[in-house]
Structure 1
Amino acid sequence: MKQLVNKNLITLKCVLFCFLSGVGCIFPFLPLHMLSVGLDKGEARLISAIAPCIALLGPAVLGPLIDKMSVGRGSTGGGTGPSGSGRLLRVITAACLILSAVFYTLLLSVPYTERHEARRPQVLFMCDEDSAYVMQEVCKEDMRCNRWSGEKSGVLAVTACEYGCADENMTWVRQPFTTTSTTTTLSPMYLNVANATTESPVTEEEEVKHSMPFEVNPPHFCYNGQCLVYMQHQARLRVPLSLIAPELPDDNETESVDSNDWCTYRTAGPSSCQVPPNRLAEVITDDQECRPAVRCQVLDPYDEPDGVLADAECRLVIGDPSYTFWTYLFIRILADIWPTAGLALLGTACVIATRETSLGRGDVGRQLAFGTLGLAIFPPLAGLAAQEMPDNPYLVPFILHAVFMVIGALILLFDSHMPLSTPEWWWHTATGVLAMPMNTVRRYGAETAAVFAVVALLGTLWSGIDAYLPWTVLELNGTITEMGLTLTAGALPAVPALWWAEALVDYIGHSNVFIMAFTIYGVRYTGLAYSADYSWVVVCEVLEVFTLSLVWVTAVLYFRHLVPRKYTATGQALPVIAHFCIGRCIGAIVSGIVSLERPLESARDVYRALGVVALLSAAVYLALYHLLLAPRCGAPAVSPPHHLLQASSIDGQLNAKGMGLPQIRIACL
């Protein structure tokens, strides 16, 4: 029992449990929460890519800062001896947890916005001898006209123009256009044969009758002293003009729109249309007061290149989408920094507290295994609570996150007996004799960079799945509770795997764990690419024990060996930066390249592509390691001192599996 439960590490296990429980309560629901406040998927993808990129500042700054502040104190973490409590490390880690609780809770205060699909109202054009007018149906969504400051220049494509008599209420302009030439009140400028019905065929005599006057007196549209001639054979005339929006009322409460809910935009410059007298006589009756005018149908007002109304569609917008986006992005960036930094510092705490020796294991995996229990228990409970509160579904997950983080911080602040101060020397034999000077470890900078790159690539593949997995679950008709269960599916198998993680890594070898992870990623991506329902997603998530849990503990152990003791916090920040910052950012960008019109199908295409990348990475890594690097690792780079010969058999076994000690040779890639 003494070997299984170390009383000195109970509080550290509790902190890890609270930390991973808090992360599990919020992480699977962040992509859904972004959509719930009104952001579109494009904005959510941008936030998902930017936030982890900037979040690397947390571990990148705090890791070296702790190492630097610990210099001269005799031990990493600010303790006063081998039994010190590491007060500096505890306080800074607690601060990270509290700040994480604060900033993620602030996301609940982001203002809501809502954008409805744009509606394209009808647009008409009218011109008389005094001016020209563009009329647009008022936006029914908010009963307002589109407005802009000053003049707005562009073109308006018109066709099927008619002569007639305008009135003060513009009723004639809004009447239906004629489809034949037989009318007593309206007369077309040219005969639209294509619109003639089969019931009223147009004879050649009628066509000549109505077309001849236009060949003699074609209509002119004049604007700013330049006139365009509308000829019979033209089906589209692009009229350049500048429009002035109607003024907003002084009270800013009621909209000034024309009768029957139309908005009238006047031209900024002088404009006019002259009606030939012979055409005017055809449309004027004896008892009618006539203001001679021309009206036209407008072609593609919102799609015409350089159109003056190109962005004047009706949109129902609640709130300020721009303000919501920037507020969410700013808070999310600040929020992501602190759990990322906290993960690096808790990794440092595990490495320091377990005090691994050359003839024994430090049980880092057992600390992480206990924390992973929280990751398996609470995400589905948070999802269930969210599902039962449709009015404010994400209130409970965010509160649970804050509660767990605060509890973990309080344990760190009040437990002064937590063994977070390192012994004088890291690697030692059973007799306590120094094995090798620390400067020997510094020779492996290239290997450290190579491991960093491998972990970053694995983080990219991890983020390619997890960044937008909640959207995939919902598109497969899953629920929020089932989204939380996906974390449970991956965390439950990880508990026994992490409990015996160091023995597994010793037996398999660091590099073989990474090769296996790349291979399993290929299987996971292939399964997701062809998944038709939620059950397949769960099966793919069970495999995360090989692609995340074992990979993470392997990275922690690997960097523990590669980095000198006085840079412990920096060394544990490196895998966090590689996997959960750089890799997460790249993965969010790559997996976010999907079509908005067919998101599920295009996401499957991305999964197939990333599956191929994973399998190719596994093949290249396998070939490089076993054909090139492994043979060079067979012989020790530095001969061990004479007093270590008694442990040479054990060290040789570790070295053969890529797990050798720093003084003999760190595992090659």
Structure 2
Amino acid sequence: MEKLVNKNLITLKCVLFCFLSGVGCIFPFLPVHILSVGLDRGEARLISAVAPCVAILGPAVLGCLIDKLSVGRGSTGGAPGPSGSGKLLRVVTAICLILSALFYTLLLAVPYTERHEARRPQVLFMCDAENTYVMQEICKEDMRCNSWSGVKTGVLAVSSCEYGCADDNMTWIKKPFPTTTTTTTLSPMYYTASNYTPMFNFTYDDDEEEYEAYPPHLCYQGQCLVYMAHSRRMRVPMSLESPIPPEDNTTETDAWCTYRASSPSCLVPAAKLPEFSVMQSECKPAVRCQVLDPYDEPDGVLADAECRLTIGDPSATFTTYLILRMLADIWPTAALALLGAACVIATRETSLGRGDVGRQLAFGTLGLAIFPPLAGLAAESMESPFVVPFALHAVFMLIGALILLFDSHMPLSTPEWWWHTATGVLAMPMNTVRRYGAETAAVFAVVALLGVLCSGIDAYLPWTVMEMNGTLLHVGLTMTAGALPAVPALWWAEALVDYIGHSNVFISAFTFYCLRYTGLAYTTDYTWIIVCEILEVFTMSLVWVTAVLYFRHLVPRKYTTMGQALPVIAHFCIGRCIGAIVSGMVSLSQPLESAREVYRALGVASLAAAAVYLALYHLLLAPRCAARPAPPPQHLLQACTVDGQLNGKGLNANGGSNGTYSPMRVYHEERSRKGHFRY
């Protein structure tokens, strides 16, 4: 009876189950967690873009390190040393899982900050021959005045300027402005203060009396801005010093902050104005103006002086979260590459047949389907909701690390020791790195582009779910919807990919991304989000196993770990970084509607990529790279593997199940040692 499960691979399946369960418990909730500590969406987008970029260090450095140190004495014919037995791979992977648990748990200790929406207090303006006064209501949120060091320069837009008598208590400046209608509206003009004493005639409708008057002159650095009768807007240059707070700003509810400025000053011709001819000793001639849009005026001197209530230190929160997130993302990314290499090595794929990488990933994907909604459901009932997902992540990672450390029988020996053909020929020539460099780069670019499209959805989909009145349970279910159909697909993935061909899988993925983005762009219901996530089996699961299988065949066995690090770097580092940037280009004021516009654009881009790839591959590459219909050696026809074990079932004459056409054959010598796979 055919054995479906290799007992030697049970512990590897358990490690993959723990790893993907831990990933599923935390990654769907990270976008929501960033906002929960008080950071805004702009800061969250920056973190989501920078963290995967830094995460490149994990698979790149450790992939090279493992490949270099794992070369024992196998290449010289001796027995493998400790590094050649797979111990190094197990220990380093376990360390990655432990560090992932540690750094993601530390995110719970990020200091909380809270920034309330800015309130815009009233601003008043008055000036006399000596000083200029700008007054602002004190910020009642924290009973403080907005302050700065030195002198701040800008403009203040004013209107409805009028003469009056100022007093030490600033009573007149606080009085409401009269509603006066005028028949003349003129524009302000600049004149030199030293040689200009104009007189103008103004007509007022309220008393229908004409008289000569000096319009207000607001002078700044030797230039006077003349306010004409009830001009709509006049931009006054201004230099303000730090404010003088009220004497007791802790109990005064209507206190004002006073900003002093040496300029502009007002030219007030008191001797020639009738309103100042009486009781000049008790009257301090001054000009007051109504302030227009003090916080919105371009180059405004008070543009950033709104009242803000801030709890904690937003800068410290952002910096701490960014550093911890960058350090945290390195380790699961590195672990994914190392576990991919472990699957390739442990399944013992040789020219005698195929290993079953897909079945190992299928078992691990069960954890990705089961635990995210459970973590979300538990989080909903907790006062500190994110403790449960982060704790589950740590538990699963630690369990996986313990299995790796204590299971010394996991079949992870040095690649050179298991790369054999039936004739006993050892490892392939190393010049294949140069021979297939262009093809490796092309597949790397395709996987990176698919990673961009994947991140374009996953990076901020939890925000969309929450904006549709969803809960953390609903966020977790989106992960289940994508992972559950992937289990049977991955179980038969190698045969499926071999039959379809890797390029056709990639082309199909671009097409299904178009469908996913189109659905998300027009959906207004959570149910349709789930439907779109079900399509992830075609855009993520099959794509990933195809990338693993293709790089397994393309990269020499000496570089097995680095070969599995390449798709991780392309998809989950470079692609995730660019995708987070592209999908984050939405309006902060209307995030949901703006996100739909981005989804529509990415949907069109996906369809265009599918069409270009289809045309280039089937019209240009496939005819040139078609494999010759030569059968493999006769002694290989009776051998194939099931879950890493040989059995008596034979392959067809071309090493595959889809006739003799093989668009992208891979040769590591003049003849293929792997059979004519469709890669």
TM-score by length of 1: 0.89
Q: CA deviation at 1:162?
A: 2.3
- Residue 511 of structure 2 corresponds to 519
Q: CA deviation at 1:541?
A: 0.8
Classify 1:314/1:432 alpha carbon distance in 2 versus 1 (closer, same or farther; 3 Å).
same
- Residue 192 of structure 2 corresponds to none
Greater Cα offset, 633-642 or 98-107: 633-642
Deviation readout 1:30-60 (Å, 9 max, x if unpaired): 1101111111111111111111111111101
Preserved CA contact (<8 Å) 2:276 2:283: no
Deviation readout 1:120-156 (Å, 9 max, x if unpaired): 2211111234322111111122111110101111222
* Structure 1: gaps of 5 or more residues: 182-189, 195-201
- Residue 25 of structure 2 corresponds to 25
Distance 1:649 1:52 in 2: 43
Distance 2:59 2:81 in 1: 25
Q: CA deviation at 1:335?
A: 0.7
Q: CA deviation at 1:160?
A: 1.3
Distance 1:80 1:462 in 2: 41
Q: CA deviation at 1:254?
A: 6.4
Greater Cα offset, 372-381 or 234-243: 234-243
Preserved CA contact (<8 Å) 1:166 1:293: yes
Greater Cα offset, 374-383 or 472-481: 472-481
- Residue 339 of structure 1 corresponds to 332
Distance 1:205 1:404 in 2: 81
Distance 1:235 1:621 in 2: 60
- Residue 567 of structure 1 corresponds to 559
Aligned runs of 1:178-189 on 2, under 5 Å?
Answer: 178-180=178-180
Distance 2:454 2:390 in 1: 23
Deviation readout 1:546-577 (Å, 9 max, x if unpaired): 11111111111110111111100010000000
- Residue 134 of structure 1 corresponds to 134
Distance 1:559 1:567 in 2: 10
Q: Does 1:277 align with 2:271?
A: yes
Q: CA deviation at 1:657?
A: 3.9
Preserved CA contact (<8 Å) 1:52 1:336: yes
Secondary structure of residue in 1 paired with 2:273: helix
Distance 2:451 2:23 in 1: 17
- Residue 487 of structure 1 corresponds to 479
Preserved CA contact (<8 Å) 1:94 1:413: yes
Q: Does 1:470 align with 2:470?
A: no
Preserved CA contact (<8 Å) 1:164 1:283: no
Deviation readout 1:174-231 (Å, 9 max, x if unpaired): 01111248xxxxxxxx88899xxxxxxx97693443xx232xx333334555544333
Distance 1:454 1:506 in 2: 18
- Residue 434 of structure 1 corresponds to 425
Secondary structure of residue in 2 paired with 1:121: coil
Greater Cα offset, 259-268 or 412-421: 259-268
* Structure 2: gaps of 5 or more residues: 187-202, 640-650
Classify 1:240/1:611 alpha carbon distance in 2 versus 1 (closer, same or farther; 3 Å).
closer
Deviation readout 1:432-454 (Å, 9 max, x if unpaired): 53288434643212111111111
Secondary structure of residue in 2 paired with 1:650: coil
Distance 1:125 1:490 in 2: 61
Greater Cα offset, 600-609 or 99-108: 600-609
Aligned runs of 1:250-649 on 2, under 5 Å?
Answer: 255=249, 260-268=254-262, 271-279=265-273, 281=275, 289-389=282-382, 391-422=383-414, 424-429=416-421, 431-434=422-425, 437-439=428-430, 441-442=432-433, 443-636=435-628
Greater Cα offset, 658-667 or 41-50: 658-667
Distance 1:536 1:204 in 2: 64
Deviation readout 1:402-448 (Å, 9 max, x if unpaired): 1111111111111111111146455544x353288434643212111
Distance 2:230 2:609 in 1: 64
Preserved CA contact (<8 Å) 1:75 1:421: no
- Residue 213 of structure 1 corresponds to 212
Classify 1:168/1:339 alpha carbon distance in 2 versus 1 (closer, same or farther; 3 Å).
same
Distance 1:434 1:322 in 2: 61
Distance 1:331 1:85 in 2: 34
Distance 1:100 1:277 in 2: 80
Preserved CA contact (<8 Å) 1:82 1:421: no
Secondary structure of residue in 1 paired with 2:402: helix
Distance 1:661 1:155 in 2: 70
Deviation readout 1:53-80 (Å, 9 max, x if unpaired): 111111011101111112244289x993
- Residue 242 of structure 1 corresponds to 239
Distance 2:370 2:101 in 1: 19
| AA of the residue aligned to 1:335 | A
Preserved CA contact (<8 Å) 1:75 1:422: no
Q: CA deviation at 1:465?
A: 1.0
Distance 2:242 2:637 in 1: 90
Distance 1:469 1:591 in 2: 10
| AA of the residue aligned to 2:163 | Y
- Residue 110 of structure 2 corresponds to 110
- Residue 187 of structure 1 corresponds to none
Preserved CA contact (<8 Å) 1:365 1:498: yes
- Residue 64 of structure 1 corresponds to 64
Q: CA deviation at 1:469?
A: 0.7
